[in-house]
Amino acid sequence: MSVQSRQNLLNRIRIKKDLEKLTIEAFARHSNADEIVSQIAELSDAQQQFIYKWAELISASNHELGAQFVSLAPKAFATMRDVTVQQWLDLVLQNFDNHGLGAAIAALENIDGFMEKTKIEEVQCSFNETSGFLQHFIRGLGGRDLKISSDLETFTNTEALFLPEAVDLFPAPQENFTLYKLTAVHLWAQTWYGTWQHQILEAFKDTYDSSDHVEIFNRLECIRLDACIARDFPGLNRELQQFQLHDSDSVELWESWRSKSIELQEADATAADSLKLIDKFSDVKLPPLQAYQGVMYLDRIRQTFYSRVEQEKAALQKALEKILEDNTGTENDAEMESLENQTLELSQAEDNDGQDSNMNLQLTLDGQPVDMSEDLKELLGSIIQDFGEIPDSHMDPSEQSDYSDELLPQSNGEADSSELDLQNEGTFQYKEWDCTRQRFREDFCTLRELTVPPGDETFIDETLEKHKGVLKEIKRSFEAVLGESRPQRRQCDGDDIDLGALIEAYTDLARGEEMSEHLYTRYKNVERNIAVMFMVDMSGSTLGWVNNAERESLVLLCEALQLLGDRYAIFGFSGRTNKRCEVYSIKEFNESYSEVVKQRISGIRPKAYTRMGVAIRHLGKLLQDTQARTKLLITLSDGRPEDYGGYKGQYGIEDTRHALLEMKQEGVHAFCITIDNEAQEYLPHMYGNANYAVIDEVEKLPLKVADIYRRLTT
C-alpha cells in the first residue's frame, strides 16, 4: 500500500470515528457508512467542518436526524452551492421544530425538490417586487388611473389590473419581469383602446352573453390590441414578439385567425368590429392565449363598469354645477333657477395620432371658454374611455334623479319647508349657524332620512378575502380590549398585594396603630357602556377608491365589533343646498349586523355635496337619545364642509364647528377621520387638536379606522 493510500485510509477512519461520536453512534448503524465517509473525504476542509458542526448540533436534539443529515450531506454538496446547502438545512430544522422528526427527514431526503424550488425562486419575479414600478409605468401610458392588484387569474375589471403573485416561466429573472410588464400593458390596452366601452357591454347583454362568445371576443381583441400597441409603442411591440408562442400548432392557429380578421389590424378598427366577427369564428378552433394575454370576466367588468358610470356622472354634474356657480356669482338658493338658463358645451379635438385626448377638451359657458381643473379633465377622459364621447345626459347639471317630486324646487325656485315636513315622513327641520350674522338661521335646513339601497352581493365576500390578514389583526386587538381589567384597590381579599396600602399599613403598625386589613387588589373586567355613531361622507368627491375604502373599513369594523358587543349605528350624509340635506340609514342602533346591513354597506355610493352641520345635529340627536355612558360621533370624510349656494369656506367650517360644540355640551364626544391632506388647515379649529386623524394613504383606511376606534373606546 502506498503512502498516499495509507494516508487516505487513516483519514477515512478518523472521519468515521468523529461522525460516530458526534451522532452518538447513530451513524455507525448506517449500512453504507463506509461509502458515505469516502464521499465526505473528497469534500473540501470547509465543507467537512460544516458537516461536523451541524452533525453535533442536530444530534443534540435528535441523534437519528443528525446521522441522517450526515448520510445525505455529500449529495447536497454535490448538487448545491454551499449557501444553498445552508438554506436546505434551515428548512429541515424548521420542519423538525414545527412538525417533528418525520417531516424533517422528509425534507432532508427531498434534495431534488428543494433544488427545483430554489431554482424557481432564483429566476421568478414576484408581484411585490414589480407592483410599485408597474403602478407608475401604467400611469405613464395614460388614461384612467388603474390600480395594480394580485390574483390567481390575470384580468382587468376596467379599474384595476389583476396580475399573478409570481412569474417564473423563463430562466432569467429579467425575462419574467418583462413578462409582468407586458401583461400589465396588454390589460391596460383593453381600457385605453375601448374593449369595454358602453356599447360593447350592451351588445353582450343583448346578443353575445355566453362564455364561448367571450372566449372568441378575447382572441379577436388580442389581435386588434396587438396591432394598436405595434402602431403606438414600437418598443413594447418588439418585446411582445419575443414572448409569443413559437410551437408550430400555436403559430399556425394564430396566423389563421389573423388572416381571417385583417380588418381588426387597421388603424380605425374598434371593439365593435371584433363583435361583428364573433359568429364568423364560432366553429373555429381557439388558439391558446399568449403568455402576456389575460382572461375576460364579463360579470366583474359589468359590475365595476356600471357602478363607475353612475359615480362619474354624478361627479361630473357636481363639477359642472360648481363651474356654473363660480362663473355666475350665485350665492343663494333664490338665484339657482338662473343657472338653468346657462348653456355649457364641451368640444373635443383629436390629437396627431387620431386618439381622443382629454387634453384637447374645451368647455364653454354661453360660448365663452371656461378653465378646467386637472381633476375635471381626468374625469372627462375616463368617461370618454367608457363611451367614446361625453353623453348628453352627463352634461346636464340640473338633473336631480335622486329626489322625489315632492322635493323638487317649486316655481319660485324654493320648496316650502312646512309642506315638506307635513307631506314627507322622515323629514326634519334644523337651524344653521350664520357666522357672518353671528346668529342662527332657524328652521333653515330641511333634512330627509333615507335608506341606502342594496349593493353588489359579492362586495362583502371579496372584502373579507382581500383583507383577511388585516381582519385577524383587528380582531386580535379587540380581543385584547375584552381581556382588559380595572384594578380595585384596598380590598380585604383579592388577586394581588396592594403595595401602596401595604406600605401605609406597615407605617401604622410602626406607630403602634392597628394595621388595616384592606391590603389587596382585585381585578374586575372593564364594563363597556358605549354607543357610537359612524357618520360616513357620501359626497361626490368620494368617487372611486375613497368610496371603496370607506365601505371596506365599515365591513371590517362591523365584523370585529361583533366581538365587543358595542352599540353602534352607521349613517351616510350628503345633499344639495339647505333644502335638500340627506342622511342615509345603513345600520341603526337597534339593528344587528345582518345580511340587510351588509348589502346597505355594499350600496354606499357618492351623491352630491358635504353640508356637515345639519348632519351632525341630526345624527348627534339620535346618539343623545341612546342610553349609554360614553357617546361617540365618528366622522369618515375626505374633505372640508362644502355645499351649493354659499356653504363653503369659513361659513361651512364655522357652522360645522358650532354643531360639534352643541353636541359636546350634550355629552357627545366627536372625532374625525379624514384623508384630506389639507385637513390641518381647518380640522383643529372644528374638532380640536386631539380629535382628528389624517390618513395619508387611502389603502390604510380600513386598518386605521379600527385602530382609532379601539383607542377611542378603551
pLDDT tens digits for range 366-423: 777 888 888 888 888 888 888 888 888 787 665 543 333 333 333 333 334 333 443 4
| Boundary of a domain, candidates 392, 421, 438 | 392
| Boundary of a domain, candidates 346, 377, 392 | 392
Residues 6+ apart with CB under 8 A from 113: none
Q: Are residues 703 and 606 in the same domain?
A: yes
How far, in Å, are 79, 122, 201, 578, 625 from residue 116 at the CA level? 11, 10, 44, 68, 66
Q: Indicate whether 244 belongs to any domain.
A: yes
Q: Are residues 656 and 555 in the same domain?
A: yes
Q: Indicate whether 423 belongs to any domain.
A: no
Q: Indicate whether 453 belongs to any domain.
A: no
| Strand partners of residue 488 | 522
Q: Are residues 270 and 164 in the same domain?
A: yes
Judged against a pLDDT cut of 90, whether residue 435 lies above it is answered with no
Q: Are 605 and 315 in contact (CB under 8 A)?
A: no
If one counts the domains in the chain, the total is 5
Provide the pLDDT for residue 657. 93
Average pLDDT over residues 275-291: 92
Q: Are residues 219 and 364 in the same domain?
A: no
- Other beta carbons within 10 angstroms of residue 624's beta carbon come to 16
Average pLDDT over residues 299-315: 84
Looking at residue 701, which CATH number applies to its domain? 3.40.50.410
Q: Are 197 and 271 in contact (CB under 8 A)?
A: yes
Q: Indicate whether 41 belongs to any domain.
A: yes
Q: Indicate whether 452 belongs to any domain.
A: no
Q: Are residues 588 and 513 in the same domain?
A: no
Q: Are residues 44 and 141 in the same domain?
A: no
Separation CA 171–CA 188 (nearest Å): 26
Q: Are residues 623 and 501 in the same domain?
A: no
Q: Are 279 and 197 in contact (CB under 8 A)?
A: no
Provide the pLDDT for residue 528. 67
Which run of H or of E encompasses 560?
A: helix 545-564
Please tell me the least confidently modeled range out of 275-289, 412-426, 492-506: 412-426
Query: Is residue 249 classed as helix, strand or coil in its secondary structure?
Result: helix
Judged against a pLDDT cut of 50, whether residue 699 lies above it is answered with yes
Q: Are residues 86 and 191 in the same domain?
A: no
- pLDDT category at 481 given cuts 50, 70, 90 is low
Q: Indicate whether 349 belongs to any domain.
A: yes
Q: Are residues 546 and 664 in the same domain?
A: yes
Q: Are residues 601 and 675 in the same domain?
A: yes
HSE value, Cβ hemisphere, 13 Å, CA-based, for 557: 29
Q: Indicate whether 420 belongs to any domain.
A: no
Separation CA 588–CA 576 (nearest Å): 24
Q: Indicate whether 274 belongs to any domain.
A: yes
Could you tell me the residue range of the domain that residue 505 belongs to?
Answer: 486-525
| Boundary of a domain, candidates 240, 270, 300 | 300
Q: Are residues 343 and 255 in the same domain?
A: no
Please tell me the least confidently modeled range out of 68-82, 146-160, 328-342, 353-367: 328-342
Contacts 24+ apart (CB under 8 A), 583-586: 583/447, 583/448, 583/449, 583/450, 583/615, 583/618, 583/619, 584/450, 584/451, 584/452, 584/538, 585/449, 585/450, 585/451, 585/452, 586/452, 586/536, 586/554
Phi, psi of 525 (to 5 degrees): -60, 140
pLDDT tens digits for range 121-139: 666 788 888 888 999 999 8
Q: Are residues 134 and 115 in the same domain?
A: no
Judged against a pLDDT cut of 70, whether residue 61 lies above it is answered with yes
pLDDT tens digits for range 665-688: 888 888 888 877 777 788 888 888
